[in-house]
């Protein structure tokens, strides 16, 4: 029997990405398909807290298995910033170029450029059981942006062991390293053992 799981995201691209990893035994439903309209609150202050807050919001209304994700770029020399504020680091307009410019300005003259992307997935099963999955990719912030692929901070993030940024990679290559792919792999492996 196909198992229905709601993905608490407004991003259709993410739904397709996870559906392709989860396989045919699972039917991922969007929020609209689950009858949930409008923005879900994200006020917890940590990636784990935000992901669980979003999943709980949907579970309370549907009592159906559901999950949510939250991702942040954590830069050592900035005390873990932008972290949970990654999307709106330079302001509410969520502008990637402005966010990257702010990071590069804050790191001007700083030699420690170590950083990581971290994704947390929070899953609530049909019975209300809660589970967290984490995916990390370590790397460093380059001196300037390079590449046109991807989104967000991809042009300034060089994953460990690579000599180019995420924005200089096709999605298939980025997925070999990426935080989101790693978290999704743990999550879908978990689903497939249930």
Which positions lie near ligand IMP, rule CB under 6 A? 70-73, 86-87, 117, 150-154, 166, 178, 180
Question: In this complex, which beta carbon is closest to ligand IMP, that of residue 67 or of residue 166?
Answer: 166
Tell whether 180 is in a known binding site: yes
Question: In this complex, which beta carbon is closest to ligand IMP, that of residue 180 or of residue 182?
Answer: 180
Question: In this complex, which beta carbon is closest to ligand IMP, that of residue 5 or of residue 179?
Answer: 179
| Shortest CB 4 distance to ligand IMP, Å | 23
Question: In this complex, which beta carbon is closest to ligand IMP, that of residue 123 or of residue 166?
Answer: 166
In this structure, are residues 149 and 171 in contact, taking their beta carbons and an 8 Å threshold? yes
Tell whether 138 is in a known binding site: no
| Shortest CB 72 distance to ligand IMP, Å | 6
| Shortest CB 166 distance to ligand IMP, Å | 6
Is 39 part of the annotated catalytic residue set? no
Tell whether 70 is in a known binding site: yes
Q: Catalytic residue among 25, 70, 126, 127, which?
A: 70
- In the chain the first and final C-alpha atoms are separated, in Å, by 13
Question: Rounded to the nearest 10 degrees, how much is the dihedral formed by the CA atoms of 179, 180, 181, 187?
Answer: 110
CB atoms within 10 A of CB 98: 14
| Shortest CB 135 distance to ligand IMP, Å | 10
Tell whether 174 is in a known binding site: yes
In this structure, are residues 136 and 116 in contact, taking their beta carbons and an 8 Å threshold? yes
Positions at the binding site for substrate: 9-14, 71, 151-154, 174, 179-180
Catalytic residues: 70
Positions at the binding site for Mg(2+): 70
Positions at the binding site: 9-14, 70-71, 151-154, 174, 179-180
């Amino acid at each position: 029997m196909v198992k229905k799981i709601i993905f608490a995201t407004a991003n259709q691209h993410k739904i397709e990405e996870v559906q392709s990893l989860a396989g045919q035994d699972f039917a991922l439903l969007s929020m609209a398909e689950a009858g949930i309209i409008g923005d879900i609150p994200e006020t917890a202050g940590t990636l784990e807290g935000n992901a669980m807050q979003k999943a709980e919001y949907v579970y309370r209304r549907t009592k159906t298995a559901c999950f949510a994700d939250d991702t942040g770029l954590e830069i050592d020399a900035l005390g873990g910033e932008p972290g949970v504020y990654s999307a709106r680091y330079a302001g509410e307009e969520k502008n990637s170029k402005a966010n990257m410019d702010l990071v590069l300005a804050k790191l001007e003259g700083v030699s420690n450029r170590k950083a990581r992307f971290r994704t947390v997935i929070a899953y609530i099963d049909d019975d209300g059981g809660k589970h967290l999955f984490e995916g990390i990719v370590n790397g460093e912030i380059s001196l300037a942006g390079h590449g046109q692929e991807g989104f967000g901070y991809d042009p300034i993030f060089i994953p460990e062991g690579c000599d180019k940024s995420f924005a200089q990679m096709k999605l298939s290559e980025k997925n070999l390293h990426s935080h989101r792919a790693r978290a999704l792999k743990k999550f879908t492996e978990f689903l497939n053992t249930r």
